[in-house]
Structure 1
Amino acid sequence: MKNIVIGSGPAGRLGSLELGKLGEDVTLIEKNHIAGTCLNEGCMVVCALTDITKFIDSNKRFNNYGFIKSQLEISYEKIVEKIVETQEMLRKLNQMENESFGNNIIYGEAHIEDDMVHVNNESFEYENLLIATGARPFIPDIKGSEFGLTNKDILKLDDVPEKLNIIGGGIIAAEIANIYSTLGSEVNILARSKFLKEIGENTREYVLKKIIPDVNIRENTNVVEAFKDKVLTQDGEELEGIPFFATGRTPNSEIVDGIVEINDDRTIKVNEMMKTNVDNIYAAGDVTGGYQLTPVARMEGITAAKNMAGYGNKVSYSCIPQTLSLNMEVSFVENENSECEEDDKSTIGFPGIGGPHAFWKILTGDTGFTEIEFDKKNNKINKINSISPSSVSDVAYLSYLMRMDYDLDDYSEFLEIHPSTDTNYKIIKNMWL
């Protein structure tokens, strides 16, 4: 075998697709289901459930306005059933797509020994190897941790929990809290430090007050013991509710332990070409750490594939856009390489516009909020935090502007489709230039 890819998540799947497109011989090995965490346990599951909670939120709003009278009856069991049914369809499509380029797919658990990949009692030689084995939920070392749920368990629940204690203070914690509080759970978030420290303070306050107001946030709180139906904090307080760990992820790097160089945090060490310290072994995606995002994993997988095929390529992590999938999307990006002096910074903030999916929020004043930090001297964007139904596309466009180091005038010919890109350049131009 010329190229072997282990792991079919976003990095491995896109890497093998790229190799196939380049005419390379490819074998893709997957332990469980094709498409990895994203489709089977992660963001696609969160997005599917968030589609439901957005509907519930809109229904409640319309009932309060008085022009719709309806009472929803939610079947969590049926929701899970349809998510699983959709996943099965997408797995088939993903497999067909990969095989359409002549790639061979093997299902089984691989291990590496004597410069060969072994799977299902067969052994394969390789010229190039891509490790894209992803990551798994990190479980903190506390007593009773075996009782805690993670994102891997969402589709195993029989019903919506009456009470839920989410341990963690990041994006996953916020998304899970939004889902289950909207579905009717009494939700606590127990964060070791500050909740949602990834986003700007004004944006964070909006999320707390307008999007997840029913969630009880406890910052600087450590859980010292978990039980099946409660947790115990460092202050000796018992909080009823099923424990749910949203405490980060740990890389599945054991497959190359002792073969390639491993960082202190157990991620695989790679260079900007996604190459390990072994010339013909590459790694991409969550197993390498860094930004654990599907688009970044895809980018890394494609970069690795091009280098495996002999086309020199380097990865860049400048101005990576991110989002929280809540009942209203929260998107953000920052130019970490900005050399803007403090005196040249200027920040403006403005409420969201009544565009698609926001018109009926005008009456309650919760159409969203966008805050943008500018480099006045160079007429460039340094940072964006945006809450709006269109923030995902808006911030993606603007992150490209930042990544390419364009100034705002270079974007003046951009023509948005109205009403969709509500916080994009035309609004920035009107409020800034």
Structure 2
Amino acid sequence: MTFDYDLFVIGGGSGGVRAARIAAAEGGAKVGLAEESRMGGTCVIRGCVPKKLMVFASAFPDLIEDANAYGWRVRSEGFDWPRFRTALEAELTRLENAYRSTLLTAGVTIHDARATVVDPHTVRLASGETFTTRHILVATGGWPFVPDIPGRDLAITSNEVFHLDALPKRALVVGGGYIASEFACILHGLGVETTQYYRGAQILRGFDDESRGHVANAMQARGIAIHCGTDVIRLEKTATAIRAVATDGTEREFDLVLYATGRRPNSAGLGLADLGVKFGRNGQIVVDEWSQTAVPSIFAVGDVTDRVNLTPVAIREGHAFADTVFRGVPTRFDHSLIASAVFTQPELGSIGLTEEQAREQEPIEVYSATFRPMKTLFAGRQDRVLMKLIVGEASRKVLGCHIVAPEAGELIQLAAIAIGMGATKEDFDRTVAVHPTMAEELVTMRKASRKG
């Protein structure tokens, strides 16, 4: 049978774009790609990239204050949100065009339309056009989830926060994950009086307990009001604000309510269920280790599979798919050891097992140190850094590394290389410290803080 395409990708985010490019440029495939919104997906348009730029923007008040402590005569005239937002939107447009250019250079045909699956080898665009294809790759990502509470339409999500007409004076962030915690820090840094509600006992569930406690304490010390064990019952519109009625019995008014209570796989309405594709309880597309669904010609990568929802993971999954199917190089991506960073203030970098996970697996030693870093200590700040290693008592392997510090995302990337290679505590000990740095603590901790 002759097909219109060898591969048709649904979704122009990081995973879909990487798969399309590799299949076309290196695998010699005829590839079509459909994207109903802006090219670049969640990460580039409404996620990692604009968020990190907002993180940078929100850090300047501290930098200006520290500059004065270091002898510079600097003063701030306040934050110009419209000016920043205009520059941000221009940068996102530049990146979107770069993604398009990369695909076109690779020989991929772009369709700016929503696509659905008709049968295992046919897709239909919203325009009514249909195309046959040997393989289909679904890479439609995820979408913010807002609980079905009264007044939910008064809230926004991370999708809309980058496009506000003006910054609010008072904001409520609902959620305790990394997106909620990051935006609580961002808004506070931009001068917004910020409150965070989380129904759980501590924010950043799933991360190392000591590390997330350290982040929460630092956020509160900066002035962010974190209320754990608290959820919103309903939102009400008042004459000048939004009233949040909470489970703790309080009723508070805010100018903005941002929900960051998780994301759900964007898998509905694609026509997949009728074909025999299997779904998990949250709507995720079930795939095997090769990213293949129950229908042999249909594959899926990225957040829509709800495996590890990180942009670099989606990219690696997409690349592995293209290598396997179009380059004749069978490749399975290993999801077991992936570094991550939470861009709160301070940042949290993590790789490997948490202390709690490691204790359940085997006897361990924990090496942990907290201290005031030189840079902010000189400026009179009370900030404290946390460096932590989890070590297998018998194997001596470093099972996990957790860092709470400025630029922790940069630090954990390098630690991940060593841990990925199976480094032992003695390998760390043999490494000569770079002095004076924060990171030298990782190679100078000689005595275990505790065992378990």
Normalising by structure 2, report the TM-score.
Answer: 0.87
One of 204, 227, 232 as aligned partner of 1:223: 232
Take 1:344 and 1:203, find their aligned partners in 2: how far apart are those partners? Answer: 17
Distance 1:225 1:419, change over 3 A: same
For residue 44 of structure 1, report the CA deviation from its aligned partner.
Answer: 1.0
2-side partners of 1:342 and 1:130: how far apart?
40
Please tell me whether the aligned partners of residues 346 and 376 of structure 1 are also in contact (alpha carbons under 8 angstroms): no
Question: Residue 230 of structure 2 contacts residue 246 of structure 2 at CA under 8 Å; is this kept in 1?
Answer: yes
Q: Does structure 2 conserve the Cα–Cα contact (< 8 Å) formed by 1:227 and 1:243?
A: no
Residue 3 of structure 1 contacts residue 128 of structure 1 at CA under 8 Å; is this kept in 2?
yes
Given that 2:433 and 2:443 are in contact with CA atoms closer than 8 Å, whether structure 1 keeps it comes out as no
Task: Please state if 1:247 is matched with 2:251.
Answer: no
- Note the residue ranges of structure 1 that are not aligned, 5 or more in a row: none
Q: Which amino acid letter does the alignment assign opposite residue 167 of structure 2?
A: V
Q: Match for residue 329 of structure 1?
A: 347
Query: 1:418 offset after TM fit, Å?
Result: 7.8
Question: Whole-Å Cα distance in 1 between the matches of residues 102 and 40 of structure 2?
Answer: 12
Which residue of the partner structure matches residue 89 of structure 2? 84
Q: Distance in 2 between matches of 1:352 and 1:98?
A: 47
Q: Quick one: distance in 1 between partners of 2:399 and 2:250?
A: 42
The DSSP-based 3-state class of the residue aligned with 2:106 is: coil
Matched ranges for 1:296-375 at <5 A: 296-309=313-326, 310-335=328-353, 342-351=362-371, 353-354=373-374, 358=375, 363-366=380-383, 368-375=385-392
Deviation sequence 1:69-112 (CA, Å, 0-9, x none):
41232111111111000011111111111222111111111111
What secondary structure is seen at the aligned counterpart in 1 of 2:143?
strand
SS of the residue corresponding to residue 195 of structure 2 reads strand
Contact 2:123–2:130, Cα closer than 8 Å, also in 1: yes
CA distance in 2, matches of 1:44, 1:135: 16
Residue 212 of structure 1: how far off its partner (Å): 4.8
Going from structure 1 to structure 2, the CA distance change for 1:360 and 1:158 (only over 3 Å counts) comes to farther
1:201 paired with 2:206, answer no
1:203-241 deviation per Cα after TM superposition (whole angstroms, max 9, x unaligned): 233323334531111111121101341211124421111
Instruction: Name the amino acid aligned to 1:250.
Output: R
Name the SS of the counterpart of 2:341 in structure 1: strand
Matched residues in 1 for 2:216 and 2:378: separation?
A: 17
Distance 2:103 2:435 in 1: 36
Report the alpha carbon displacement of residue 431 of structure 1 after superposing the two structures with TM: 2.1
Residue from 28, 46, 64 that aligns with 1:41: 46
* Amino acid aligned to 1:253: S
What SS class does the counterpart of residue 46 from structure 1 fall into? Answer: helix
Paired amino acid for 1:397: L
Distance 1:63 1:293 in 2: 38
Task: Name the structure 2 match of 1:180.
Answer: 187
Can you list the C-alpha shifts for 1:273-293, whole angstroms capped at 9, x where unaligned? 111011111000010012211
Matches within 5 A, 1:13-412: 13-20=17-24, 21-63=26-68, 67-114=72-119, 115-119=121-125, 120-194=127-201, 195-213=203-221, 214-228=223-237, 229-241=242-254, 242-254=256-268, 255=270, 256-259=272-275, 260-309=277-326, 310-335=328-353, 342-351=362-371, 353-354=373-374, 358=375, 363-366=380-383, 368-408=385-425
Q: Output one character per residue of 1:135-163: Cα deviation in whole Å (capped at 9) or x when no partner.
A: 11001011111111100111221111111
- CA-CA distance at 1:173 after TM superposition: 0.8
Cα offset for 1:124? 0.7
- Alignment RMSD: 2.5
Letter paired with 2:105: S
Question: Residue 117 of structure 1 aligns to a residue in which SS?
Answer: strand
Total equivalences in the alignment: 427
1:361 to 1:28, Cα distance in 2 relative to 1, 3 A: farther
- Please give the TM-score of this superposition, normalised by the length of structure 1: 0.91
- Structure 2 residue ranges without an equivalent (≥5): 448-452
Deviations 1:108-139 (A, max 9, x none): 11111133111132211111111000111001
Q: 1:311 to 1:69 in 2, by over 3 A?
A: closer
60-69 or 134-143: which moved more?
A: 60-69
- Say if 2:18 and 2:319, in contact at 8 Å, map to a contact too: yes
In structure 1, C-alpha distance between the alignment counterparts of 2:403 and 2:135, rounded to whole Å? 42
Residue 326 of structure 1: SS of its match in structure 2?
Answer: coil
Amino acid in structure 1 at the alignment position of 2:224:
V
Amino acid at match of 2:274: G
> CA separation in 2, counterparts of 1:58 and 1:126?
54
How many angstroms apart in 1 are the aligned matches of 2:73 and 2:435?
A: 27
| Partners of 1:165 and 1:230 within 8 A in 2 | no
Distance 2:39 2:433 in 1: 36
Q: Structure 1: how far apart are the matches of 2:135 and 2:426?
A: 45
Instruction: Go from structure 1 to structure 2 and tell me whether the alpha carbon gap of 1:122 and 1:416 turns closer, same or farther (over 3 Å shift).
Output: farther
Cα 1:116–1:352, aligned 2, differ >3 Å: closer, same or farther? farther
Mean CA deviation greater in 269-278 or 49-58: 49-58
**Change beyond 3 A, Cα 1:106–1:176:** same
Give the direction of change, closer, same or farther, for the CA distance of 1:412–1:345 in structure 2 (3 Å limit).
closer
* C-alpha distance in structure 1 between counterparts of 2:415 and 2:360, whole Å: 18
